[in-house]
A and B are shown apart, each in its own frame.
Chain A
């Protein structure tokens, strides 16, 4: 159970299943059966392939398949999901980078592909593709066991000041790990931060009291959260989460750290403006779709539309910040 370290916790456990699957038929049939009020805008391509590095059932895969159900209501095309696994995302990115820039192929972006580009010599990295638009932010949360001694983030920090704190992150060299380091710095404490083999592994060690807190994503801990065994302490989101309005942000708790684990699309370099314009206009409508809203809210995804013009800068900035973090901590030479 060696974990593919850069792939988000979900994908991690189910890594490296090299399968390409397409469910075009069922999806187009689905959209046809749903009579929708608005007419979808014309699109230059009949079939759009959405590539992901995650395996069927993994995080990005579920994200794309849900999205593919709702997009045809606003963009007149058939959307197919293709799983290109392996190489911690490197293969999927090179599939994208070598595809024609005509709006027929996109890739589901997550921080994974930035980490992989930075940490290995990839033929095509994140700078070789063009970010299209952003859809969501995954909420990163700090949690503890419900019957444990910590009621607030401050309790945890206080404990870390007087004795050895024990914090857990789902994966090494991941956004969660980066979050833990930034929180340490902001609060000026020096707990041990223990990386795990994915979200499930981490959750066991929080539940059995080995760790004070864990840093992870909602979907991984939801069974125990709903069973009342886990307590949320704070979120790294810039704003409070809609699903948990009582949980403060880390910033509100007094530590100036905020993170955005983005989920969006990227295309090959040189996307024509008429294509990016269609997406810029359609995506806010898709995100406002009531059916779709219901689905993504339960997944604790926060709608966070970033238009094409701004998204490029956002990704570049994320890459620069991550690179600086990895260099500063010595992970990158």
Chain B
């Protein structure tokens, strides 16, 4: 009852709604610009929050996070450019739908799924913060290693029928992840003396390079996308479609909550895992990769769930599970708010305001999306000759903001060439991306585990979470391989009949 009172005060006493909607719109804009991650979008606002009341500042930042996680899917669908790391999995079926002239439908599905994910994450945050926060605490280095392996196990089903090439691509991805400072000893690896590489290569540079730049190179000189007439209107899913998406969204919600609780890939692991699981449990798995609606819904639900669920370890322990929540932590600290158990007692108004603001932002997301998205769709339907230049300019401007480094631009362009050559030679791109995203986590947590045990591998068996995750990875890989071989055999049979 007390919280309800606070909620009403906040709603009518101070313009919380205003802050949450400004944050949401700002977040969608920032998130949809390639290279400008959710954390940068938030950090750009941070200096302006110094003068605000704490609750206003926190609502503004949290709603920016929600908007940015959603916004990342817009360029992923429209121009094959993941706006944020966690939108990489959305590229697969989202861009395929766009190529089929179903951009409006894909954007509608991602919008709807984003709302479902945010609401679910918020529900978890409000109802279950206390019990779920202990999941974060139970994660040891052994568990992180197993989580990384589970993420890598997705590779087995993302090789486009060429297992060997897929695995080779994954190894190259893992190699890229070793660039930078060694996580245990601190010696530099493959940096060639450059301070720019001390912190490693940003995964988003690789994603934008191999997905977006290579796509621009592929399309260079072509007349356009086959003259498919695009509907400009954004179509929210119909009731029967909502029903069909339920299963994939449920998977996204579960995995998203799980990743939100555990520091890691900041949403990308959950997005890839739920894409994979949605395919496994789908009634139409053959449509995945060819413009499946569920293939858009699953990762988009997952990464939006992460945005809300990541507040659980942040508020209860002061532990940021991603760069974005780290900026939010900065925002809390600047206003003298200390996360932890006492925040809920001493600053209940901030906590309730945060819940309320996020809730408003989630609902407003539908409205803002319906108004904003047609403009985006219209933009990408301009004559191809102009569009190509605009996209390249957008990418090069966007990634410069990451580190204000021209070297980053060089990396993205170089990865564009790599992506182009890989596609020409029939090497799948996704295993490379997964390797880049997960390599660091797998290596560092493996070595930490062995350091703790003195080189004894049985330490992995002592951790029930690790055992569970490793078993799951084993089952997934086996099932995926069985399916790959079955598909291959079926294809051969079909060939023989034809």
Direct contact of A and B (CB under 8 A): yes
Distance (Å) between the CB of A218 and the closest chain B CB? 12
A62 touches B323 (CB 8 A): no
Q: Evaluate whether A16 and B403 lie within 8 angstroms (CB atoms) in the complex, with A5-B186, A331-B187 already known.
A: yes
A23 touches B47 (CB 8 A): yes
Q: Evaluate whether A62 and B333 lie within 8 angstroms (CB atoms) in the complex, with A57-B327, A224-B318 already known.
A: yes
A18 touches B319 (CB 8 A): no
Which chain B positions have C-beta within 8 A of A194? 141, 184, 448, 451-452
Count chain B CB atoms within 10 A of each CB in A5, A21, A89, A166 and give the residue with the most.
A5
The docked-state distance in angstroms from the alpha carbon of A29 to that of B191 is 45
Binary interface profile of B, 319-357, with partner A (CB < 8 Å = 1, else 0)? 110110011011101100011111100000000000000
- Does B381 belong to the interface (CB within 8 Å)? no
The docked-state distance in angstroms from the alpha carbon of A42 to that of B326 is 39
The docked-state distance in angstroms from the alpha carbon of A15 to that of B322 is 11
Count chain B CB atoms within 10 A of each CB in A3, A13, A88, A164 and give the residue with the most.
A13
Binary interface profile of A, 30-64, with partner B (CB < 8 Å = 1, else 0)? 00000000000000000000000001111000100
Which chain A positions have C-beta within 8 A of B400? 18
Which chain A positions have C-beta within 8 A of B441? 1
Which chain B positions have C-beta within 8 A of A13? 320, 323, 326, 329
- Does B235 belong to the interface (CB within 8 Å)? no
- Does B117 belong to the interface (CB within 8 Å)? no
Which chain B positions have C-beta within 8 A of A317? none
The docked-state distance in angstroms from the alpha carbon of A204 to that of B191 is 30
A331 touches B40 (CB 8 A): no
- Does B80 belong to the interface (CB within 8 Å)? no
Q: Evaluate whether A172 and B185 lie within 8 angstroms (CB atoms) in the complex, with A57-B330, A205-B141, A226-B342 already known.
A: yes
Find B50's partner among A26, A85, A120 (CB 8 Å cutoff): A26
In the complex, which residue of chain A has the Cβ closest to the Cβ of B184? A195
- Does A73 belong to the interface (CB within 8 Å)? no
Stretch at the interface among B152-160, B198-206, B413-421: B198-206
Binary interface profile of B, 174-206, with partner A (CB < 8 Å = 1, else 0)? 000100111111111001011110111010000
B137 touches A208 (CB 8 A): yes
Distance (Å) between the CB of A202 and the closest chain B CB? 10
Which chain A positions have C-beta within 8 A of B185? 172-173, 195, 331
Distance (Å) between the CB of A19 and the closest chain B CB? 6
Q: Evaluate whether A56 and B43 lie within 8 angstroms (CB atoms) in the complex, with A5-B186, A26-B51 already known.
A: yes
A56 touches B330 (CB 8 A): yes
B333 touches A57 (CB 8 A): yes
Which chain A positions have C-beta within 8 A of B263? 1, 197, 200-201, 204
Interface residues in B, total, Cβ within 8 A: 69
- Does A162 belong to the interface (CB within 8 Å)? no
- Does A129 belong to the interface (CB within 8 Å)? no
The docked-state distance in angstroms from the alpha carbon of A88 to that of B197 is 9
The docked-state distance in angstroms from the alpha carbon of A121 to that of B196 is 10
B138 touches A119 (CB 8 A): no
Which chain B positions have C-beta within 8 A of A88? 195, 198-199
Count chain A CB atoms within 10 A of each CB in B180, B318, B402 and give the residue with the most.
B318
Which chain B positions have C-beta within 8 A of A3? 183, 199
In the complex, which residue of chain A has the Cβ closest to the Cβ of B47? A21
B199 touches A15 (CB 8 A): yes
Binary interface profile of B, 395-418, with partner A (CB < 8 Å = 1, else 0)? 000001111110000000000000
Dominant SS among interface residues on chain A: loop
- Does B265 belong to the interface (CB within 8 Å)? yes
A19 touches B195 (CB 8 A): no
Distance (Å) between the CB of B42 and the closest chain A CB? 9
A116 touches B198 (CB 8 A): yes
The docked-state distance in angstroms from the alpha carbon of A164 to that of B184 is 18
A210 touches B141 (CB 8 A): yes
Distance (Å) between the CB of B167 and the closest chain A CB? 23
- Does B44 belong to the interface (CB within 8 Å)? yes
- Does B102 belong to the interface (CB within 8 Å)? no
- Does A227 belong to the interface (CB within 8 Å)? yes
A223 touches B340 (CB 8 A): yes
The docked-state distance in angstroms from the alpha carbon of A173 to that of B317 is 26
- Does A87 belong to the interface (CB within 8 Å)? yes
A17 touches B199 (CB 8 A): no
Distance (Å) between the CB of B7 and the closest chain A CB? 25
B181 touches A227 (CB 8 A): no
Shortest Cβ-Cβ A-B pairs, 9 listed:
A57-B330, A173-B186, A223-B340, A172-B186, A121-B193, A90-B195, A4-B199, A86-B403, A13-B326
> Could you pull out 20 A-B pairs where Cβ atoms are within 8 angstroms?
A1-B323, A3-B199, A15-B323, A16-B403, A17-B327, A55-B327, A56-B330, A57-B46, A58-B330, A62-B330, A85-B403, A85-B404, A86-B196, A119-B186, A120-B191, A172-B181, A193-B451, A195-B186, A196-B448, A197-B183
Given contacts A65-B50, A88-B199, A166-B452, 13 further A-B contacts (CB under 8 A): A18-B400, A56-B46, A56-B47, A57-B46, A57-B333, A62-B334, A85-B404, A88-B198, A90-B196, A172-B183, A197-B263, A203-B319, A205-B140
B binding-site residues for A, Cβ under 8 Å = 39-40, 43-44, 46-47, 50-51, 136-141, 177, 180-188, 191, 193-196, 198-200, 202, 263-266, 317-320, 322-323, 326-327, 329-331, 333-334, 338-343, 400-405, 440-441, 444, 448, 451-452, 454
A binding-site residues for B, Cβ under 8 Å = 1-7, 13-21, 23, 26, 55-58, 62, 65, 84-91, 116, 119-122, 164, 166, 171-174, 177, 192-197, 200-201, 203-205, 207-208, 210-211, 219, 222-224, 226-227, 330-331
